[in-house]
Structure 1
Amino acid sequence: MHRSIAIASGLLAVASGQLVGTQQTETHPSMTWQQCTAKGSCTTKNGKVVIDANWRWLHAKTGYTNCYTGNEWNSTLCKDNKSCASNCALDGADYKGTYGITASGNSLQLKFVTKGEFSTNIGSRTYMMKDDTTYEMYKLAPNLEFTFDVDLSNLPCGLNGALYFVSMDADGGLKKYSANKAGAKYGTGYCDAQCPRDLKFINGEGNVENWQASSNDANAGVGGHGSCCAEMDIWEANSVSTAYTPHSCSTVEQTRCDGDKCGGTYSADRYAGLCDPDGCDFNSYRMGDTSFYGKGKTVDTSKKFTVVTQFVGTGDSMEIKRFYVQGGKVIPNSESKIDGVPGNSLTTKFCDAQKKVFGDMYTFKDKGGMANMAKALTAGMVLVMSLWDDHYSNMLWLDSSYPTDKDASIPGIARGECDTGSGVPADVESASAGASVTYSNIKYGPLNTTFG
């Protein structure tokens, strides 16, 4: 599911542009990670973190006039997509003060609600950088693994601490799109398998034309274009439920789409686009083991733990395996307890069986399945670390029973123990403003080199 995130409002109204402003210097927080070649043999890499362009203050290229306020565009500065790009500039970020983002050593903490001097910010989406102008590109297949530690002990129902990979351009589209003057330095170029249409700028142009303000999110809307690419959800989770989910696309790289033909969360026909919006997921609770993940359970979410994801083999035969490490103990992923769907990892065979038993749409296979996912992983993908709440379905698809009009006893409907009335963004933002997630100790390398 896409991260539909409520964003800052007020004087620092959230928006994004492709020109660069000069009101705030852009200084990327530093964050280290490790590349391993053998068990116990890892080299520290000095990375940086950048916040997505969609969160940034967008204003007239001269002066302070907002190009976007609340969930509406300035009709003088942004008459159409091209004029908006030439009239508006996005500025640097105060990471801690405005967005609640703090990097220290090998860790990154994202706070949910941050009340700044001029704004209240909700959630964030950040990317790992190789240097100040380039995203780090992780090649994850074949036979490679990605490991990180996470503390989500104070992420309740309705929140999603998501760590995942998308097939963005390494420079944020700077070379490909001449109108894009900001590039990866300012967090441009986002895409995912929902072909998101809430992005303010796509391919260096505004997304103003046919913009419709959200009916339940004072800071967001949907434009006439979307931005599609392959997505590997390593980690979507709160303290109650977690899922890992590959999303294939018929084309791997970032591609702009038009209107409802985009498909995904934002379109009238969810399955109309280039990409698979549902994915093939492994959620332990949904697969019948309700005692595996959560506070006081086998993987105890009241404490920090390690998440290991392995990409074994390639092509349609690729297997995506999961391990956890906590208290010095390696914990294999839970086994499926659903009749007719055996296994504890994601394979083509598992996905075939799961989709059949659950009766779900199988667009994952239609869009190339594991073979196309392996292509994207082999080509290199950008690491995204985010925290969000859900204005479309209250995160019930992750941590409750969903769809809500179906009996929770039907296989595949129960995904977590949260109440079906939970997760309403206004409620979560009020009751859980102090929520946060911390990602740390990222490691990447050949199989069985990053943990033990």
Structure 2
Amino acid sequence: MYKSLALASLSLFGAVSAQQVGTQQTETHPKMSWKTCTGKGGTSCTTKSASITLDSNWRWAHLTSGYTNCYTDNAWNTTSCKDGAACAKNCAIDGADYSGTYGITAGSDALTLKFVTKGSYSTNIGSRTYLMESDSKYQMFNLIGKEFTFDVDVSKLPCGLNGALYFVEMAADGGMGKGNNKAGAKYGTGYCDAQCPHDIKWINGEANSAGWVPSSNDKNAGSGTWGACCPEMDIWEGNSISTAYTPHPCSGNGLVRCEGTDCGDGDNRYGGICDKDGCDFNSYRMGVKDFYGPGMTLDTNKKMTVVTQFVGSGSSLSEIKRFYVQGGKVFKNSESAISGITGNSISDAWCEQQKTVFGDTSSYKAKGGLNAMAASLARGHVLVMSLWDDHAVNMLWLDSTYPTDKDASTPGVGRGTCATSSGKPEDVEANSPNAQVIYSNIRFGPIGSTFDEAAAK
């Protein structure tokens, strides 16, 4: 996942976030149920009542004493934020109007994330949400020896957009009590991922204001000196053209606040503590160009079920397998059609073949591969459901030719049918404001418990 350093965010009196708790907007988490399963074939599942919360990077924040912004557009309030600790103490984060401001709606077992939402005082772009166990704790998952299944509708996601459902090794309480963090998971704090993003405004209870540089192409975002690293398991990154699933191991445990070399910044991409490239399985990239897309074997004009199995036990992981269900039929993941790479699932051996044939740097192996990923998953991960556009490389790494200076026929370069000129945020936001993704019917349990694998084609 090549996440942008400038996540699209809310412009409500300036895009802001903070660590104290404000009282201007009541925080009411939208309800969303999911299921735990036992037995075989998805016939024995129990519904769990739950909710979702919005990431703190999207929220409005202000001085604890009133309405004055702590962050406006893409710059910090230098009076209240003379340093990171003072900023976190002086600024209060507030509740969210989920549907009116952010275009987020949940009901029964479904979550809908709209791309552009125009409110009375704001225009919001994209969102990032987390599944909650309680009002103040994220739901934690240990995926080893289990399968995670959900339905997704990407029919309204064009080139350049990414409806991403994934897991990261965040703290269950969102880092509550670290530094000046009084908001915690209830208000969506504590995010990290394997890209070690620098656009996170609050890390470990301090503002990421030191060295903050406003983005040159995103009026709501910027980047600070610190990054927020942690292992990441991308279950699903996709739009109507392409999809991929990708483990990203890291050498650290949980959220690590990084700087410079440890973040893998700039030309040091492979020298940081996380594997930013990961080991991805994208059917189109693996030479199967008629498996996933509009009208194809998996028809992205229609809702589909995505099943991911984590084969292993304890803190050991040997394979990550993928199945799909659509129209009452179960489909195995496509087999690689690239010479020198065999198989249809992610294992260390498969990843080594892929990196060798594609000529990619094997940061994945250097960071420990599935062993490191398993150790992280065993410690527990938080479920993230998001929708975003890419201010760094226009999502070309997912759905187009990337790198763009290479021939698309070169193994590993073609990732989808989108033009290399597609995906520019200004174009996508203007031309596809009604884009959306719907996640629904989440099921979790031992391998074989959430669907009928015996029916696989």
Structure 1 gap segments, 5+ residues each = none
Deviations 1:375-407 (A, max 9, x none): 112221000000000000000000000000011
8 A Cα contact 2:310 2:317, kept in partner: no
Residues 14-23 or 103-112, more deviating = 14-23
Query: What does 1:226-245 align with in structure 2 at a 5 Å threshold?
Result: 226-245=227-246
SS at the partner of 1:157?
coil
Give, in angstroms, the shift of residue 252 of structure 1.
2.9
SS at the partner of 2:433?
coil
Query: What does 1:151-190 align with in structure 2 at a 5 Å threshold?
Result: 151-175=153-177, 177-190=178-191
**Structure 2 match to 1:48:** 51
Deviations 1:348-386 (A, max 9, x none): 110000000001111111111100111112221000000
8 A Cα contact 2:164 2:238, kept in partner: yes
One of 97, 102, 119 as aligned partner of 1:116: 119
> Is 1:107 matched up with 2:87?
no
Deviations 1:86-143 (A, max 9, x none): 11111100000000000000000000000011100000000000010000001100x2
The 4+ residue runs of structure 1 with deviation greater than 4 A are 314-317
Give, in angstroms, the shift of residue 10 of structure 1.
4.0
TM-score by length of 2: 0.96
8 A Cα contact 1:110 1:438, kept in partner: yes
Deviations 1:297-348 (A, max 9, x none): 0000000010000001256751000000001100000000000000000001
Structure 2 gap segments, 5+ residues each = 453-457
Give, in angstroms, the shift of residue 2 of structure 1.
4.4
C-alpha spacing 1:30/1:192, structure 2 compared with 1 (3 Å): same
Deviations 1:259-291 (A, max 9, x none): 353116xx4522232110000000000000000
**Structure 1 match to 2:305:** 306
SS at the partner of 1:419?
coil
Query: What does 1:260-271 align with in structure 2 at a 5 Å threshold?
Result: 260-263=261-264, 267-271=266-270
Q: Using the alignment, how far apart are the partners of 2:376 and 2:303 within structure 1?
A: 30
**Structure 1 match to 2:455:** none
SS at the partner of 1:174?
coil
8 A Cα contact 1:70 1:219, kept in partner: yes
8 A Cα contact 1:55 1:124, kept in partner: yes
Q: Using the alignment, how far apart are the partners of 2:12 and 2:191 within structure 1?
A: 24
8 A Cα contact 1:34 1:443, kept in partner: yes
Q: Percent identity?
A: 64
Give, in angstroms, the shift of residue 44 of structure 1.
0.7
Q: Using the alignment, how far apart are the partners of 2:223 and 2:280 within structure 1?
A: 26
| Aligned residue-pair number | 447
Query: What does 1:17-166 align with in structure 2 at a 5 Å threshold?
Result: 17-39=18-40, 40-141=43-144, 143-166=145-168
Amino acid at match of 2:209: V
SS at the partner of 1:324?
strand
8 A Cα contact 2:8 2:221, kept in partner: yes
8 A Cα contact 1:252 1:372, kept in partner: no
Give, in angstroms, the shift of residue 178 of structure 1.
3.9
Residues 38-47 or 386-395, more deviating = 38-47
Deviations 1:131-175 (A, max 9, x none): 10000001100x210000001101000000000000000000114
Deviations 1:224-249 (A, max 9, x none): 11111100000000000000000000
TM-score by length of 1: 0.97
Deviations 1:391-440 (A, max 9, x none): 00000000000000011111000000000000000000000000000000
Amino acid at match of 1:303: K
Give, in angstroms, the shift of residue 38 of structure 1.
1.3
Q: Using the alignment, how far apart are the partners of 1:158 and 1:181 within structure 2?
A: 36
Give, in angstroms, the shift of residue 84 of structure 1.
0.7
C-alpha spacing 1:92/1:376, structure 2 compared with 1 (3 Å): same
**Structure 1 match to 2:423:** 423
Q: Using the alignment, how far apart are the partners of 1:382 and 1:132 within structure 2?
A: 15
8 A Cα contact 2:240 2:300, kept in partner: yes
Amino acid at match of 1:70: D
SS at the partner of 1:84?
helix
Q: Using the alignment, how far apart are the partners of 1:33 and 1:263 within structure 2?
A: 36
Q: Using the alignment, how far apart are the partners of 1:440 and 1:133 within structure 2?
A: 22
SS at the partner of 1:236?
strand
Q: Using the alignment, how far apart are the partners of 1:320 and 1:10 within structure 2?
A: 41
Residues 216-225 or 13-22, more deviating = 13-22
Q: Using the alignment, how far apart are the partners of 1:186 and 1:373 within structure 2?
A: 27
**Structure 1 match to 2:252:** 251
8 A Cα contact 2:308 2:320, kept in partner: yes
Q: Using the alignment, how far apart are the partners of 2:316 and 2:448 within structure 1?
A: 22
8 A Cα contact 1:317 1:348, kept in partner: no
8 A Cα contact 2:316 2:375, kept in partner: no
Amino acid at match of 1:160: N
Deviations 1:12-51 (A, max 9, x none): x222111111100100001000001113111111111000
8 A Cα contact 2:242 2:416, kept in partner: yes
Amino acid at match of 1:348: D
Residues 316-325 or 155-164, more deviating = 316-325
8 A Cα contact 1:149 1:440, kept in partner: yes
RMSD of equivalent CA atoms: 1.1
Q: Using the alignment, how far apart are the partners of 1:46 and 1:282 within structure 2?
A: 32
Query: What does 1:406-445 align with in structure 2 at a 5 Å threshold?
Result: 406-445=406-445
Deviations 1:41-97 (A, max 9, x none): 111111110000000001111111111111111111111111111111111000000
